[in-house]
Amino acid sequence: MSSDGESGGTAILDLTFSQVARFRPFQIVADGFVQATDRPRAHTGLTLSEAGPPAPFAAVEVETGDSDTVRAGLATPAGDFVGLVLRDDRLALEVRRAGRSSTVKRTTVHRPSRLAFALCENRITALTDHGSGWQPVLTARPRKGPDLRRPETLAGYRYAWGTGPDTAGPDRTGRDTTGQLGAVRAGPFGMTGLRDPHLVTHADGRPYERDGRLYLTWTCAGLGGFRQAHWGVFALDPDDPAGLEQTAQLYTARDGLLLGDHAGHLVRDGDRWIVLTSAWGDFRPGSVHVRHTETAADLLTGVHLLHTQPLALPTRHATWDPGLALIDGRWHVSFVESASQRPFRFHPALAAGPPGTPWQESLQLRGAASHLTQCEGPLLTRSGGRWWLLASDGDGRGYPVFDLDLHERDRLHAPYPTNIPHPQTVPLPDGSRLLLTFDGTGYAEQTMGYGGHGDVLVMRST
């Protein structure tokens, strides 16, 4: 597939985009990454899988069958447990440590046909399905629970499901816990929506292609806010953009924790991947910054823990949404610069290094759109034989198009949905482009609050 970065192509300001598709990626256990399954059968007590989650983003889905008591979550061979317990019509989030159990939260429910436990960072959520899809009914971040972000703690836990306590026999009420459960599956948590699209590229900005498919990273919205999201890689067939397929799960190992840092960029340079990401995984105001690493591993498939370090950018403020390209012999890094996160105020910026230097060294500020206060998602793109920086202005409800000195030249002619949608364009062989973005449509906000967005929107140019 050719790129207009090579052929010149149509200038991006001459294109008009219209929406051609809208869909909602949603998975509790991530399709394609299932680590454990169980057939419908009788259970007595708790079953532990041989596998455990690679990061604190995990889920267990259980068909409830005819058992009075159903349990699902994570457990250790020693009997520690983090998960949900359904007893008749009473549903609870429970933590068991060192032989002592505590109820974190509870409610009364109509008995569902399916139950799901989900862990996103240290937040645990119970979901029910009565035949019309998953709905969260309980969620909490247990104060006295184990810190499952710590690799030495998480390593002891396995996916778990069953009908009663961690051993066979009666439960604490004296009832026998043998019961029939339906099918079970467990593995990494999927997503409640997608946001922050970024095309996987070569260093010169060309889309990275494999077997006729392009690739994008997306933030996989979790059950909660910034810390409950994580990062994934998705394959895109340009002829079927609504058929996005997740091919990789990306997590970050830093500061002694396993986190879901996201909103970044993968760049192929020779035989290495350059990785840039944003430190949202342990968010607190003032802490967000751009991080990086390099690896020869195939980041487009499988599950990966990225060991990253901070990137020295020419700013003293918080930073996120990085992008990278080699332009006229100089490495350029686009990013968001934010002087305040209470309230949030942020704008695009661009840094560049001297010719011939490694990409992460001696970066100097080339420009910043500091007059904007709700503008993020900066994306370097080549169109019409020249480079541009695209972004998303929430206040102005449009997509400003900057030159590389951060002078605004115009705005994309494209619909602007809710939230602050990033304008990721994808060049097509016929000279047209797709524009992939998202909106602010949330998921069960009354229960989960902000952070479960959004719908994926696909636009095409004319």
pLDDT tops 60 at residue 4: no
- State which CATH number among 3.20.20.210, 2.60.120.200, 3.20.20.70, 3.40.1830.10 fits the domain covering 28-189: 2.60.120.200
Range list of β-strands (E), 342-393: 344-352, 364-368, 375-383, 386-393
Burial bucket for residue 167 (CB in 10 Å: 0-12, 13-18, 19+): exposed
Q: Token pair for residue 205?
A: 């900005």
The predicted pLDDT at position 178 comes to 79
Residues in the chain: 462
For the stretch 273-313, pLDDT in tens is 999 999 999 999 999 999 999 999 999 999 999 999 999 99
pLDDT tops 60 at residue 5: no
Torsion of CA 342, 348, 353, 358, to 10 degrees: 70
Helix (H) or strand (E) holding 137: strand 134-140
Helix (H) or strand (E) holding 153: helix 151-154
pLDDT tops 80 at residue 340: yes
For the stretch 58-117, pLDDT in tens is 999 999 998 889 999 999 999 999 999 999 999 999 999 998 999 999 999 999 999 999
Report H helices in 28-75: none
Instruction: Give yes or no for a cis peptide into 454 (omega within 30° of 0).
Output: yes
The Cα-based distances of 293 to 8, 290, 309, 358 in angstroms read 32, 11, 7, 13
The predicted pLDDT at position 10 comes to 62
Name which of 63-67, 138-142, 158-162, 320-324 the model is least confident about. 63-67
Helix (H, G, I), strand (E, B) or coil at 391: strand
pLDDT tops 60 at residue 461: yes
Burial bucket for residue 171 (CB in 10 Å: 0-12, 13-18, 19+): middle
The predicted pLDDT at position 454 comes to 94
Q: What is the mean pLDDT of residues 237-257?
A: 96
What is the domain partition of the chain in residue ranges? Answer: 4-26+192-461, 28-189
Edge-to-edge strand list for the sheet holding 424-427: 17-23, 456-461, 433-438, 424-427
Neighbours of 124 (CB within 10 A): 29
Amino acid letter, residue 266: L
The Cα-based distances of 47 to 150, 161, 462 in angstroms read 24, 5, 56
Q: What is the mean pLDDT of residues 233-254?
A: 97
What single-letter DSSP state applies at residue 398? B
Q: Token pair for residue 353?
A: 């290094």
The predicted pLDDT at position 11 comes to 86
Helix (H) or strand (E) holding 448: helix 445-448
CA distance 57 to 80: 18
Share the mean pLDDT of the chain.
94
For the stretch 153-206, pLDDT in tens is 999 999 999 996 544 334 455 555 678 999 999 999 999 999 999 999 999 999
The predicted pLDDT at position 8 comes to 45
The Cα-based distances of 298 to 35, 85, 108 in angstroms read 20, 39, 46
Per-residue pLDDT band at 3 (split at 50, 70, 90):
very low
Closest CA to 68 of 138, 137, 170: 170
pLDDT tops 80 at residue 258: yes
Q: What is the mean pLDDT of residues 363-370?
A: 98
- State which CATH number among 2.115.10.20, 3.40.50.800, 3.80.10.10, 3.30.70.2740 fits the domain covering 4-26+192-461: 2.115.10.20
Q: What is the mean pLDDT of residues 394-411?
A: 98
Residue 97's Cβ-side half-sphere holds a number of Cα atoms within 13 Å equal to 13
For the stretch 416-445, pLDDT in tens is 999 999 999 999 988 899 999 999 999 999
Helix (H, G, I), strand (E, B) or coil at 185: strand
Q: Token pair for residue 371?
A: 């007059």
